[in-house]
Amino acid sequence: MPVTNATFTIERLLNASPERVFAAYTSLEAKGAWFKAPSDMETLARELDFRVGGHERFHARWPSGLVTDFQATYRDIVENERIVLVYDLFHNADKLSVSLQTIELVAEGGATRLLHTEQASYFTGGIEAVQAREHGTTWHVDNLVAVIEGKEARAFA
Amino acid sequence: MVDRLSHGSASVSELAKPMSMSLSAVVQHLRILEEAGLVRSEKMGRVRTCTLEIDTMTAVERWISERKRFWEQQYDQLELYLAREAAKET
């Protein structure tokens, strides 16, 4: 199976101190308030054990029947500064990617610059097969456009 | 807008004409589409021409683009959450 390796970075300036931003990651109550998906989704499992070696899981069924599973392990945590985790993403039984996600928090005045870097191995064959089988070829474009235009995405992906 | 571009390249003003939004809103929208890798634009003289990039993207490139967009959306929600938390304290 071919593999595509890729990296992307997201940079945001958040109007809160690094302490507050960090706190938004540390408990299921806080993280569940923003790291979430549309309300018509059924949560099958949601866990967060925020410590090095601890696991996070977000397992859900979508109205379309699609089951997505985000399974992460925390690898490095420096309070108010840095969070590094590795996660696998599944669609039904297919593992589509393994990603190294690094979140850096840098104080900037009273605000926080958040840098999110994701380095991943994308399992090309699996992604193509999922697209063909579950959604047809136009699904991803439709979904992406829906997200961009402010409508809710059809899948946690 | 994406639908219009699927019929061929167009200038920003051509794209804005049938829309019920302001030119600056159209420009903002195009910027988001460009950041997501869906649209490419080129400036020639005073005219900026936009072209749909979707057709040239592979399934995996689209997927990665969507993953990035997914996290951007989560951070929009994080911003709202932080604002709500700050409001609770004051």
**pLDDT tens sequence across A83-124:** 999 999 998 888 999 999 999 999 999 999 999 999 999 987
The CA distance from B43 to the nearest CA of chain A, in Å, is 23
Could you tell me the two tokens for A53?
Answer: 């070696």
pLDDT at A142: 54
Per the listing, tokens 């302001």 go with B22
* pLDDT above 90 for A65: no
**B39 in contact with A at a CB cutoff of 8 Å?**
no
Instruction: State the DSSP code for A35.
Output: S
Q: What is the largest CA-CA distance in chain A?
A: 49
Separation between Cα atoms, residue B69 and residue B55, nearest integer Å:
18
Contacts of B86 in chain A (CB under 8 A): 15-16, 20
Enclosing H/E stretch for B31: helix B23-35
More confident residue, B70 or A27: A27
Each residue of A91-105: b (16+ CB within 10 Å) or e?
A: beeeebbbbebbbbb
**A129 in contact with B at a CB cutoff of 8 Å?**
no
What's the Cα-to-Cα distance from B46 to each of A77, B30, B35, B49, rounded to whole Å?
49, 17, 22, 10
Q: How confident is the model at residue A80 (pLDDT cuts 50, 70, 90)?
A: very high
> Could you report the predicted ipTM of this complex, rounded to two decimals?
0.78
Separation between Cα atoms, residue A25 and residue A35, nearest integer Å:
9
Please state whether the predicted TM-score (pTM) of the whole model is above 0.80: no
Does the beta-carbon distance from B60 to A33 stay under 8 Å?
no
Residues in B 51-90 with any Cβ partner in A closer than 8 A? 54, 59-60, 62-75, 77-83, 85-86
**B14 in contact with A at a CB cutoff of 8 Å?**
no
Lowest mean pLDDT among A21-35, A63-77, A103-117, A131-145: A131-145
The CA distance from B14 to the nearest CA of chain A, in Å, is 19
